[in-house]
Structure 1
Amino acid sequence: MISQKTSGEPVAAHLRQIVGNVGIVQVLLLLLAGGILWLVVDYARMLLLRRKMPPGPFPYPIIGNTFQLPDKKPWIYFETLAKTYNSPIITFWIGRNPTIWVNDAPTASDLLDKRAATFSSRPHMVVFGDLAFGQNSLVTMYYGDRFRVHRKLSHMGFGLQRVREYQGLQSDENKVVLKDLLTDGENYVSHFERYAASVVSIIGYGRRIRNTTDPIITEVIALMQRAAEHNVPGKSFPMLLETFPILAKFPRWAPWMRRFRQPRAKNFFFALAEEAANDGDKDCYSKKLFEQGPKYNLSEMELSTLSGNLFGAGSDTSSSTLITFVLACCAFPEALPKAWEELDRVVGPHRSPDFDDEANLVYVKAFVKEVFRWRSVAIIGGQPHAPIQDEIYKGWLIPKNTWVQGNVWAIHRNEREFPDPDRFDPERYLKDGANSRPFPNERGYMTFGWGRRVCAGQALAEQGTFISIARMLWAFKIRKALDKSGKEIPVDIFDYTDGLNIRPNPFKCRIAPRGEEIRKTIEREGKQAEENLSIYNGETKYRITTYRAEE
């Protein structure tokens, strides 16, 4: 009996193993069948939805059209798709989700301006939403009560009515730039960055940026430029997480998640704002935010983003616009003599232009508009919009929460509104200009976005750009650089960076005063401006490379 029981145990164990294996196989087969069924149903959903939406390339299951994206400058690709499908509005699938790309001005106006009540929200964003500041930042916030609070607080700092108070400091900082360019024109980019960052630093924190090595420039602007480089639709990390959002659920030690640590900018901008708010001598935006904080129950993260958004609204973007201005001067010198004639007639050499001259500087104003149009910095209109409900436009469905992006590159290069679009031509903004055409808005460009999501810093940027360009046109001859043999070095009007906010890649130029009297005026006004601005001189103990004050 004992020997029979012993000999039967291996047989029983073997039978149990077979039964167990059959169970595992059945479970695996069920999972496989379930996965295939889900895939079929989900793909059927995509195809049914595609039939109702604007035209676009045929999507694949799960990946959609993501891997059809070019490696660089996708806005050019979407412009090409609009022409291919003969439609100003197209559908492109990022993974399992459709995105809408708007490629002409009338359509952008119809949807994003005229239907702003519907199209003022944001879609769900993984990279610059869930893994960044989420619903604590006006930039990525869904439309609703909290958005209105943040928008109100932003207008308190740099809204249309408020920015007129900043004309004096913008004017003085710009005079300092002219003085710096007299002796160091080769480093014009650094001087533009210092100027733009200093203006917003004075407004936000009551502290001036006096030199080009200040950490605000060397660290903050560099950080923003790196973020902009990644913030465009793409088929590589980090934007690949928009196609496969499940990958964002992995722990931070996963290789693709290591870059998504707690944003150090949160700690840095809060520290700057708190430092300014506690300085009894400073009347600045940060102080007002801390005063309003208890009323609106603002968190540290919200205080950080509200103060930090100033740099996004007015530093990197403004300096990039001025670099584009220099490129335009080099590439299209024929546009300059009319500006010089107007400035000599209205202003003369013994003072620089000021804001009171604007009404009489008709051609210069057209010149500024053309700078904004010709190569807009926010080339895809900033962050995407999303409708808060299903919308029908010309028979096409735009589902609720769909990613809707305005392709400013295509909008500003449409030959219907802008004949010969790559030519820099200020006269297109003059009433009797040969290339003047109707446009859906009075400004004649869509550089700063649309509707209730228009850039909060638009008025500040337009005001500062006008006085900067008017002054530089008055002050300097800006020309192509010369090589060793004395020949002009060509510039490439298409050689721009690839990020969300574009700027020309580095190029050399010549910047020289237009005359001796003008040179003397630049020096005299620059010295006076530095004295005027000295009340804002100071230092901060904080650095973005650390989370806390330097001990």
Structure 2
Amino acid sequence: MISQKSSPEPLAAHLRQIAGRVGIAQLLLLLLAGGLTWLLVDYARMLLLRRKMPPGPFPYPIIGNTFQLPDKKPWIYFEQLAKEYNSGIITFWIGRNPTVWLNDAQTASDLLDKRAATFSSRPHMVVFGDLAFGQASLVTMYYGDRFRVHRKLTHMGVGMQQVRGYQNLQSDENKVVLYDLLTDSENYVTHFERYAASVVSIIGYGRRISKVTDPIITEVIYLMQRAAEHNVPGKSFPMLLETFPILAKFPKWMAPWMKNFRKPRAKNFFYALAEEAATNPDGNDCYSKKLFEQGPKYNLSDVELSTLSGSLFGAGSDTSSSTLVTFVLACCAFPETLTKAWEELDRVVGPHRSPNFEDEANLVYVKALVKEVLRWRSVAIIGGQPHAPIQDEIYKGWLIPKNTWVQGNVWAIHRNEREFPDPDRFDPERYLKDGANSRPFPNERGYMTFGWGRRVCVGQALAEQGTFISIARLLWAFNIQKALDGNGNEIPVDIFDYTDGLNIRPNPFKCRITPRNDEIRRTIEREGKQAQEDLAIYNGETKYRITTYRETE
């Protein structure tokens, strides 16, 4: 038999396959070597930078210290780290980027107040920056000319000069709260939410919120609370995107973690509310009208009009009501503090009228109690959004690189034994000059509840004004006590049982809210009815609902 020779074509194809496999293998090896080289160089960068920065736990490549974050309340963990390293300032790596946490009052004041010209910007943020309103919102905006425009416009609504003009409506809305609590004290939280939301709604949109069933209460405050729950450092979605920003670049069809993110439309719910108020010829003067009037002058986009009006509402409603819920918890947990407040209120005010703003100078103990509420369990527990320096800064020999995420840990600041001995005890006397626990503090107020420097909450004056009159009136009107069980025994309250979000408030608890005497009850009824009549000019309803005014892709 004659054997057949192999065809040259199959042999050539076979050789090409071998060469291709060798080429692919070499390519894979090259990519692997390149990746390892990049990893080593990047990790060397992290370790060299770590040597120059404030102390903190040792970071790992790529993931940094993210995996060490607790599932809940990371501010407690950072307080513990500050004690462990015996330093008011620590470094914690979120992925490949360092974050700096300020855990005592002096450090926060030195950097965020005294160096405000440097530390007033924002770092790059993925979740509440890139995936939200980005540079169209004052909350996340980098420091610069546009920031100053937005700040100026916000002061036009709630600046120091405007706030005193809101005293009457704050006073009337608060009188309505007292009146509502006479017949429905069990739902005190909802009444606080209605009050706080109504005040900012009148300011922002010229329309009050007269019912606890108003959609602003049932929908918008819920939305604000949900956003706050997600806006804390974490090792789960969505905040895991800050550790691995590349995950935010994936298309939604292949990234289930992105399914809840939608690029906000310019004309969203808050724009609709603002436009409705601004174009209503029969409506009251309000912040939204001023914004639309100033829009052309400052070339405001639709999304900027939305964020300016919406941020005012978001910052002033949930936070103010949460402060009042904390006040009620403090009354239940530390009833001994109420006796001095009642004595002062009875002496200065009496039962035939409620306290007013003119009484403030004479209500020394009540003012101290208000300050202690703001200190004891501050709502913005990590000081709001992070700061970032616009240039490299050196503090006590440590480097804080440009654009670093810098966060003030208000929880740790307000629980530092140096300024606040026995910090978990609610003690108004620490704010009296002759108080046994009175200590020096870096600022005049004695707390850092509203932030620092040029990023301090623009609604601070409005919030402090409203908190004073609310607490003074509640103290004057009611005895606030622990609830009773079926056997008539007091039900204990837990002063640490708080929510986990950026803005904290006590988890639901029951209490007893009863008028202090019949004369005060009659005064509450008389003033409450009159306040409802005076506020009637702001009555009205919006046609928009957040559940139906959906933002689409």
Do these two structures clear the TM 0.5 threshold for a shared fold by scoring above it?
A: yes
**From 513, 517, 520, the counterpart of 2:519:** 517
Give the match for residue 351 of structure 2: 349
CA drift of 1:548 comes to 6.7
After the TM superposition, which residues 38-117 of structure 1 pair with which residues of structure 2 at under 5 Å, given as runs? 38-117=38-117
CA distance in 2, matches of 1:230, 1:263: 17
After the TM superposition, which residues 108-147 of structure 1 pair with which residues of structure 2 at under 5 Å, given as runs? 108-147=108-147
After the TM superposition, which residues 189-268 of structure 1 pair with which residues of structure 2 at under 5 Å, given as runs? 189-253=189-253, 254-263=255-264, 267-268=268-269
Residue type at the aligned position of 1:301: V
Give the match for residue 483 of structure 2: 481
Deviations 1:496-549 (A, max 9, x none): 000000000000000000000000000000000000000000010001112379
Give the match for residue 308 of structure 1: 310
| 2:266–2:303 contact (8 Å) kept in structure 1 | no
CA drift of 1:5 comes to 8.2
2:483 is the alignment partner of 1:499: no
What SS does the corresponding residue of 1:30 show, helix, strand or coil? helix
Residue type at the aligned position of 1:392: I
Give the match for residue 288 of structure 1: 290
Query: Gaps (5+ residues) in structure 1?
Result: none
CA distance in 2, matches of 1:417, 1:237: 36
**From 465, 468, 487, the counterpart of 1:466:** 468
| 1:313–1:458 contact (8 Å) kept in structure 2 | no
Percent identical among aligned pairs is: 88
CA distance in 1, matches of 2:507, 2:174: 23
Give the match for residue 32 of structure 1: 32
CA drift of 1:7 comes to 1.8
CA distance in 1, matches of 2:67, 2:491: 38
Structure 1 window deviating more from structure 2 (237-246 vs 19-28): it is 19-28
| 1:386–1:403 contact (8 Å) kept in structure 2 | yes
What SS does the corresponding residue of 1:100 show, helix, strand or coil? strand
CA distance in 1, matches of 2:537, 2:263: 35
CA distance in 1, matches of 2:88, 2:225: 30
Residue type at the aligned position of 1:280: P
CA distance in 1, matches of 2:322, 2:58: 37
CA drift of 1:312 comes to 2.1
2:299 is the alignment partner of 1:279: no
Normalization by structure 2: what TM-score?
A: 0.98
What SS does the corresponding residue of 1:161 show, helix, strand or coil? helix
What SS does the corresponding residue of 2:117 show, helix, strand or coil? coil
Give the match for residue 402 of structure 2: 400
Task: Give the direction of change, closer, same or farther, for the CA distance of 1:277–1:67 in structure 2 (3 Å limit).
Answer: same
| 1:89–1:102 contact (8 Å) kept in structure 2 | yes
Normalization by structure 1: what TM-score?
A: 0.98
CA drift of 1:261 comes to 1.1
CA drift of 1:427 comes to 0.3
CA distance in 2, matches of 1:389, 1:548: 40
| 2:266–2:302 contact (8 Å) kept in structure 1 | no
What SS does the corresponding residue of 1:63 show, helix, strand or coil? coil
Deviations 1:147-191 (A, max 9, x none): 000000000000111110000000000000000000000000000
| 2:169–2:199 contact (8 Å) kept in structure 1 | yes
| 2:207–2:539 contact (8 Å) kept in structure 1 | yes
Give the match for residue 547 of structure 1: 549
CA distance in 2, matches of 1:146, 1:511: 47
Residue type at the aligned position of 1:174: N
Residue type at the aligned position of 2:261: F
Cα root mean square deviation, aligned: 1.2
Task: Give the direction of change, closer, same or farther, for the CA distance of 1:356–1:206 in structure 2 (3 Å limit).
Answer: same
Deviations 1:407-436 (A, max 9, x none): 000000001000000000000000000000
After the TM superposition, which residues 319-334 of structure 1 pair with which residues of structure 2 at under 5 Å, given as runs? 319-334=321-336
Residue type at the aligned position of 1:151: R
Deviations 1:292-322 (A, max 9, x none): 0000110111000000011222100000000
| 1:542–1:548 contact (8 Å) kept in structure 2 | no
After the TM superposition, which residues 297-446 of structure 1 pair with which residues of structure 2 at under 5 Å, given as runs? 297-446=299-448
| 1:252–1:261 contact (8 Å) kept in structure 2 | no
What SS does the corresponding residue of 2:232 show, helix, strand or coil? coil
CA drift of 1:8 comes to 2.0
CA distance in 1, matches of 2:180, 2:101: 42
CA distance in 2, matches of 1:537, 1:518: 27
| 1:313–1:456 contact (8 Å) kept in structure 2 | no
CA distance in 1, matches of 2:45, 2:241: 21
| 1:104–1:414 contact (8 Å) kept in structure 2 | yes
| 1:100–1:402 contact (8 Å) kept in structure 2 | yes
Deviations 1:78-106 (A, max 9, x none): 00000000000000000000000000000
What SS does the corresponding residue of 2:234 show, helix, strand or coil? coil
Residue type at the aligned position of 2:252: R
What SS does the corresponding residue of 1:162 show, helix, strand or coil? helix
Deviations 1:184-235 (A, max 9, x none): 0000000000000000000000001011111101110000000000000000
What SS does the corresponding residue of 2:514 show, helix, strand or coil? strand
CA drift of 1:112 comes to 0.2
CA distance in 1, matches of 2:541, 2:316: 21
Give the match for residue 157 of structure 1: 157
Residue type at the aligned position of 1:84: E
CA distance in 2, matches of 1:358, 1:196: 20
| 1:176–1:527 contact (8 Å) kept in structure 2 | yes
CA distance in 1, matches of 2:4, 2:452: 86
CA drift of 1:262 comes to 2.9
What SS does the corresponding residue of 2:252 show, helix, strand or coil? coil
CA distance in 2, matches of 1:164, 1:4: 105
Query: Gaps (5+ residues) in structure 2?
Result: none
CA drift of 1:264 comes to 6.9
| 1:478–1:510 contact (8 Å) kept in structure 2 | yes
| 1:314–1:457 contact (8 Å) kept in structure 2 | yes
